[in-house]
Structure 1
């Protein structure tokens, strides 16, 4: 079963060719068995992306005229378990998503609707946990920046970015994937507010390079002695992540307080 969800399913996608802002194309692929886990899942996703690239659906370019494709793979057992719990990331997909392909081998469970009071309490707990974690990471950057420890500063910026995106995902959908890819996390978070499209513009080579350094910082800033990032690049990223922090706080508190 293949379901299109997110902005392209709702009809509120954004394509700004001049600045390089664009909504992701979000796809949920539901498998009959949970045989793809861990590295097996990553390998299958890589094979799907490779095939899309060969077909010309995905292209490499500085200014992304084509929408990035984001794929989630789940077993029918896991999806139905989450629907029966009322996990609203999945319930929203069943309500708003567009069915692209159905093998007819299985059916989705009826979605449980949680009362808003319970959803609000869950969202508040997640906000306090993850937003504060993001602020702590961001606060720690200054120490390493002043002491010329640029790689560690970049790692903390990655962690702050990841935490703010997780805040948004958990507050709005009660779901976050088990990954550290901030490009993929950001693509998912953008579904809940189009202003997030402007946080990390990649319309110029300089902007694209800075984001690539941030993306690589989760591993390379800790383990690769050849990882290099300049003070100017860090200051630019701090400015962008402060913007992400401001948007995160505003949209999440509005969501919780409505």
Structure 2
């Protein structure tokens, strides 16, 4: 299939920004491959780089001002895509570009192999189908062919979505119970760690239930962005207007690493209590919105069957 290639809907400055980001990504990718000897690195290359999300949409101007640039890099080897650690240098280069002012937007990068993407398109996985139909190719190797996306039958979407909801939401509930247990024991760091896991699973629940795909990351801010793009109502769970609100979310976001590996993680009883309230709100919103969206699919199936 042929992807869109034009950026004409974006102002010239934003077009330049996107192109600069693409250049930084390829710079980081080349640095990652330098000196590698295994076959997957020696012959590895990016076959497609696709802009998707807010900035690929015609109504991009309605995107939040801090909305990140979202990119999908498609590579030619499964193993090259499978090891997230291989891409640390690339992501670090993009992050440094943003922190040092080379670019004005943060970048969120997903990496998949061409065979994985084509398998997902043939089977109608909504996340990949949306990117294929709405995304913009910033780079394409002439030899790389993407399959035409197929529509996932509503019954299968509903079946898979329900299964993913049960998996992710069930685990989230257990983590919330664990966080409450450690809160009662006055073990604030362990409560924060399990609260991170609860929120991570709730955000993944939204992505996997509705789009049948989620990010391979523990970064709570990135998972929140994805879930809130799929359902704006979820933004009510974690307000971020005040310094206190942003600080507490940052504590929970950092807990995954700092509680497990550090010795100096701190969160007050007041901060944890507020975070527990927000996680409970998130849990309610996720359960309500996912069930509503899945029920709507079931209703449509029933109407079609009786039509």
Instruction: Tell me the TM-score normalised to structure 1 length.
Output: 0.86
In the alignment, structure 1 segments of 5+ residues that lack a partner are: 59-66
Preserved CA contact (<8 Å) 2:94 2:107 = no
Alpha-carbon shift at residue 88 of structure 1 (Å): 1.8
Instruction: State the distance in 1 between where 2:241 and 2:106 align.
Output: 14
Q: Shift in Å at residue 80 of structure 1?
A: 1.6
Instruction: Please say if 1:31 is aligned against 2:66.
Output: no
1:1-258 to structure 2, matched below 5 A, reads 1-10=48-57, 11=59, 13-15=62-64, 23-34=67-78, 35-36=80-81, 37-58=83-104, 68-258=106-296
Shift of 1:33: 3.8
Q: CA deviation at 1:221?
A: 1.6
Hey, what's the Cα distance between the residues in 2 that align with 1:48 and 1:162?
A: 24
Aligned with 1:73: secondary structure? strand
191-200 vs 210-219, which moves further: 191-200
The 3-state SS of whatever aligns with 2:259 is helix
C-alpha displacement of 1:29: 2.0
- Tell me, yes or no, if the aligned pair for 1:5 and 1:26 is still in contact at 8 Å: yes
Tell me how far 1:188 sits from its aligned partner.
1.4
In 2, Cα distance between equivalents of 1:203 and 1:105: 48
The corresponding residue for 1:63 is none
Cα deviations by residue, 1:69-122 (Å, 9 ceiling, x for unpaired): 321122222222222232221111112223333343412112232210011000
Q: What RMSD in Å do the two structures reach over aligned CA positions?
A: 2.1
Unaligned runs of at least 5 residues, structure 2: 1-47, 297-307
Cα pair 2:98 2:106 within 8 Å, conserved: no
Which structure would you say has the larger RCO, counting Cα contacts within 8 Å and 6 or more residues apart? 1
Greater share of helix: 2
Give the C-alpha shift of residue 55 in structure 1: 4.6
* C-alpha deviation, 1:56, in angstroms: 3.3
CA positional deviation for 1:68: 4.1
TM-score of the two chains, using structure 2 as the length reference: 0.73
